[in-house]
Amino acid sequence: MLAHFLNPAKSGLAHNLKRPLTLTKQLRAFATVDRNTPRVQPPPSRKRATPITHDRATFTIRDGPIFNGKSFGAKTNISGEAVFTTSLVGYPESLTDPSYRGQILVFTQPLIGNYGIPSADRDEHGLLRYFESPNLQAAGVVVADVAEQYSHWTAVKSLGEWCAEEGVPAVSGVDTRAIVTYLREQGSSLARITIGEEYDADQDEAFVDPEQIHLVRKVSTKAPFHVSSGSGDLHVAVLDCGVKENILRSLVGRGASVTAFPYDYPIHKVAHHFDGVFISNGPGDPTHCQDTVYHLRRLMETSQVPIMGICLGHQLLALAAGARTIKLKYGNRAHNIPALDLTTGRCHITSQNHGYAVDTSTLPADWKEYFVNLNDSSNEGIIHKSRPIFGTQFHPEARGGPLDSSYLFDTYLESVARHKTSQSTFQPDRDKRPSPLLVDLLAKDRVGVVPTTGMENLLRMGAAGEEAARAA
Active site residues: 311, 395, 397
Question: CA-based Rg of the chain, rounded to a whole angstrom?
Answer: 22
Record the pTM: 0.86
Biggest distance spanned by C-alpha atoms of the chain: 71
Distance (Å, whole) CA 126 – CA 252: 11
The per-residue pLDDT for range 215-260, each reduced to its tens digit, is 999 999 999 999 999 888 999 999 999 999 999 999 999 999 999 9
Contact 159, 116 (CB under 8 A): yes
Residue 233 CB partners (closer than 8 Å, separation 6+): 255, 420, 433
Q: SS3 for the chain, per residue?
A: CHHHHHCHHHHCCCCCCCCCCCHHHHHHHHCCCCCCCCCCCCCCCCCCCCCCCCCEEEEEECCCCEEEEEECCCCCCEEEEEEEECCCCCHHHHHCCHHHCCEEEEECCCEECCCCEECCCECCCCCECCCCCCCCCCCEEECCEECCCCCCCCEEECHHHHHHHHCCCEEECCCHHHHHHHHHHHCCEEEEEEECCCCCHHHHHHCCCHHHCCHHHHHCCCCCEEECCCCCCEEEEEEECCCCHHHHHHHHCCCEEEEEEECCCCHHHCHHHCCEEEECCCCCCHHHCHHHHHHHHHHHHHCCCCEEEECHHHHHHHHHHCCEEEEEEEEEEEEEEEEEECCCCCEEEEEEEEEEEEEHHHCCCCEEEEEEECCCCCEEEEEECCCCEEEECCECCCCCCCCCCCHHHHHHHHHHHHHHHHHHHHCCCCCCCCCHHHHHHCECCCCCCCCCCCHHHHHHHHHHHHHHHHHC
Distance (Å, whole) CA 147 – CA 114: 5
Residue 348, amino acid: H
The per-residue pLDDT for range 99-143, each reduced to its tens digit, is 999 999 999 999 999 999 999 999 999 999 999 999 999 999 999
Beta-bridged to residue 160, according to DSSP, are none
Contact 13, 223 (CB under 8 A): yes
Contact 236, 275 (CB under 8 A): yes
Distance (Å, whole) CA 97 – CA 128: 12
For residue 109, give Cα distances in angstroms to 88, 334, 345, 376: 6, 11, 31, 22
Tally Cβ neighbours within 10 Å of residue 440. 19
Distance (Å, whole) CA 309 – CA 9: 28
Residue-by-residue pLDDT tens, the chain, 472 positions: 545 554 544 444 444 433 333 433 332 333 333 444 444 444 444 456 777 888 999 999 999 999 999 999 999 999 999 999 999 999 999 999 999 999 999 999 999 999 999 999 999 999 999 999 999 999 999 999 999 999 999 999 999 999 999 999 999 999 999 999 999 999 889 999 999 876 565 665 678 888 889 999 999 999 999 999 988 899 999 999 999 999 999 999 999 999 999 999 999 999 999 999 999 999 999 999 999 999 999 999 999 999 999 999 999 999 999 999 999 998 999 999 999 999 999 999 999 999 999 999 999 999 999 999 999 999 999 999 999 999 999 999 999 899 999 999 999 999 999 999 998 777 776 666 777 777 788 898 899 898 876 544 444 444 444 454 444 4
96: exposed, middle or buried (Cβ count in 10 Å: 0-12, 13-18, 19+)? buried
Residue among 320, 321, 318 at smallest CA distance from 290? 320
For residue 393, give Cα distances in angstroms to 97, 117, 174: 15, 28, 31
What pLDDT, on the 0 to 100 scale, is given for residue 105? Answer: 97
Contact 39, 245 (CB under 8 A): no
- Return phi, psi of residue 405, to 5°: -105, 15
Distance (Å, whole) CA 456 – CA 458: 5
- CA-angle at 133, arms to 131 and 136, nearest 5°: 85
